[in-house]
Amino acid sequence: MKNLTLITGGARSGKSTFAESLATSSNKSIYYFATMKHIDSDLEQTARIEKHRRRRPDNWTTIEATTDLSQKIQDIPQKPILAIIDCLSLFVTSILFEGENIDDKTCADINIKSFDNKEKPIIETTKKLLSSINNQKDIDFIVVTNEVGSGIVPTTPLGRAFRDYLGIVNQIVAKEADTVWLLCSGIPVKIKPQ
């Protein structure tokens, strides 16, 4: 896959800003795929989404996509453009919680057994996403994700399951990516190719 760049790193490490700067320097038309599912009652999340929106140039095309990301990528017109997917972590979250009613629950309230069988669909959906990316020959992709395994071990079974699933997805995408960047304290370090 010659058109895929993966940017990983911890929370607030500068991943999205770096992805946006790479996109801007490409001088191509930009499609921005936002993967966060908006929840009206979550004011903090609403503020985060608005902050990201304000940072993006007006001439970028923003597409909101959660579990239907592969289809929306296939729908991009075939022309030389650049697409940013921000981010894989929220994409995995959407798959993990698909079909679950969790609006008023905390992580401690959720029955982890309902997430035991999610690894296969998460892997299959990730492979479908990579296939959609690979089929878009004239489009370069920048994919942002979180490196969640470098910190403390999550205290809940759900948190540990999410960490494990995202770690698997990150490995699959990094293996297929032509270029992988690690952001640490705002400093990008190219880790692939070495």
The residue ranges of every structural domain in the chain are 4-192
Q: Tally the residues of the chain.
A: 194
- The CATH classification number of 4-192 equals 3.40.50.300
CA–CA dist 69, 83 (Å, integer):
12
Q: What is the pTM of this model?
A: 0.88
- Catalytic: which of 28, 37, 52, 192? 52
pLDDT of residue 100: 64
pLDDT of residue 1: 45
pLDDT of residue 111: 58
pLDDT of residue 99: 64
Please state whether 186 falls in left (phi above 0), alpha (psi between -120 and 50) or beta.
Answer: left
Check if 38 is active-site. Answer: no
pLDDT averages per 10-residue partition of the chain, 194 residues:
86 93 92 79 67 80 89 87 94 81 54 73 94 92 93 84 94 97 96 92
Task: Tell me the two tokens of residue 163.
Answer: 């960490």
CA–CA dist 109, 186 (Å, integer):
35
